[in-house]
Amino acid sequence: MTTDSPVKYELLHVCKQSGARRGILHTPHGDIETPVFMPVGTQATVKAMTPEEVSSLGAGIVLANTYHLWMRPGHDLVREAGGLHKFMNWPHAILTDSGGFQVFSLSGARKIKEEGVSFNSHIDGSLHELTPELAIDIQTALGSDIIMQLDECADWRADRGYIKASAERTLRWLERCVKQHKNDAKQALFGIVQGGVYEDLRKMSAEQTITFDLPGYAIGGLSVGEPADIMYKMLEVVTPILPADKPRYLMGVGSPDYLIEGVIRGIDMFDCVLPTRLGRNGTVITSQGQLTVRNASYAGDFTPLDPNCSCYACQNYTRAYIRHLIKANEILGLRLTTWHNLHFLLNLMSEIREAISRDELLDFRDHFFSQTAAHKE
């Protein structure tokens, strides 16, 4: 099955200093250099940006969400439109998340059973049941390049017994997803490793998940509030188990420190709402650390968001102007902050890839952190 997969990982180089991987992810909608950051466009749009803008920032793949598009506008409509790529005018690769994260984030409006998850729609409260089979069918209709199994992203603070049961159910759901997927030639199904913050459960989940011989593996249920060192520990347990010829995707990670540390621990793919959400909420990620440009201290600051940035926002606008736009509730303000944040992370990944090629990723990390630390008060 693997050899027929529409998505293939090509390993280019392993950093001699850190063990990090550089590679290429071949998809039906283009080749993607890894490690890669994938902007999130839940509702078939990266909020505040046009697809052309997202593409111009260097993104070759974005996320969309099964649950949200199922609820609205409905996957049949997207199929009728000619698939997600055509519907949203995005010619590059798309990865759809299965709705597993909504099991976590909409926990107040959902019930988990062996058969699947029943949701009360966040839009109108109507009851819907998402099963592993339906999650595949919806993603088939959407036509994304990479599809995710239905999993349960459990609360990391849940007790061990629950996490174990949840991870095992996620494996049973994977089996059903694989069966439903039927070796589709155009879409690659990724499995998701769960197991919370328990090393043995993570190990069990990883070992079981790879028996399905899938074109890629994700690590889920992390970066949901647990301490960073626990997350790093889980990665150190899981990535050595995952096959070297397949991409490894750490779901939901997007702060610069997590990205760098994740790559060092063998991760190839990341996605996160952080840059777009932070931007809309008036915060920018810079080479000197996070900066809440909405704050009064920048009212008269006529320097760029990040003095070391070459993005459109930083080349043309000042902190003072962008703060003014945000305070005045002008759309351009959050477009510019989003623009910058996406550029920053995509550029960071590009620098990480180059550092891997030079076998200097650890040096790069130390330099990066000293820059941000130097500006912390």
Partner RNA sequence: GGGGGAAUACCCAAGUGGCCAAAGGGGGCAGACUGUAAAUCUGUUGUCACCGACUUCGGUGGUUCAAAUCCACCUUCCCCCA
Q: Where are the beta strands (DSSP E) in 117-213?
A: 117-120, 127-130, 146-148, 188-193
Instruction: Supply the minimum distance, in Å, between the C-beta of residue 346 and RNA.
Output: 14
Stretch that binds RNA, among 52-60, 145-153, 201-209, 311-319 (CB under 7 A): 145-153
Site size toward RNA (CB under 7 A) is 56
Tokens of 224: 């949901």
Q: Which is nearer to RNA, 15 or 54 (CB)?
A: 54
Smaller CB separation from RNA, 233 or 294: 294
Beta carbons within 10 angstroms of residue 22's beta carbon: 21
Answer for which of 139, 166, 209, 283 binds RNA (CB under 7 A) is 283
Binding to RNA, residues 59-118 (CB under 7 A): 63, 65, 68, 97-98, 100-102, 104-106, 108-109
Catalytic residue from among 145, 268, 271, 306:
271
Stretch binding RNA (CB under 7 A), from 173-181, 271-279, 353-361, 368-376 = 271-279
Tokens found for residue 276: 């777009």
How far apart are CB 289 and RNA at their closest, in Å?
A: 11
Reading the block at residue 193, the tokens are 């490793």
Bridge partners, 110 (sequence order): 119
Q: CB–CB of 113/60 below 8 Å?
A: no
Residue 245 designated active-site: no
31 is an active site residue: no
| φ/ψ of residue 307, rounded to 5 | -60, -20
- The single residue among 89, 281, 303, 310 that binds RNA, judged by CB under 7 A, is 281
Nearer to RNA, 14 or 320 (CB): 320
What part of residues 228-267 is at the interface with RNA (CB under 7 A)? Answer: 251-255, 258
Please, what's the largest Cα pairwise distance for the chain?
A: 60
Distance from C-alpha of 74 to C-alpha of 71, rounded to nearest angstrom:
6
> End-to-end alpha-carbon separation of the chain, Å?
54
Amino acid identity of residue 14, one-letter, is V
Compute φ and ψ for 14, nearest 5 degrees: -110, 125
Residue 148 CA to residue 315 CA, distance in Å, equals 38
Asked if 42 interacts with RNA (CB under 7 A), we say: yes
Catalytic residues: 97, 271
| Footprint of RNA (CB under 7 A) | 40-42, 46-47, 63, 65, 68, 97-98, 100-102, 104-106, 108-109, 122, 148, 151, 153, 192, 218, 220-221, 223-225, 251-255, 258, 271-274, 276-278, 280-283, 292, 294-297, 299, 327, 329, 331, 334
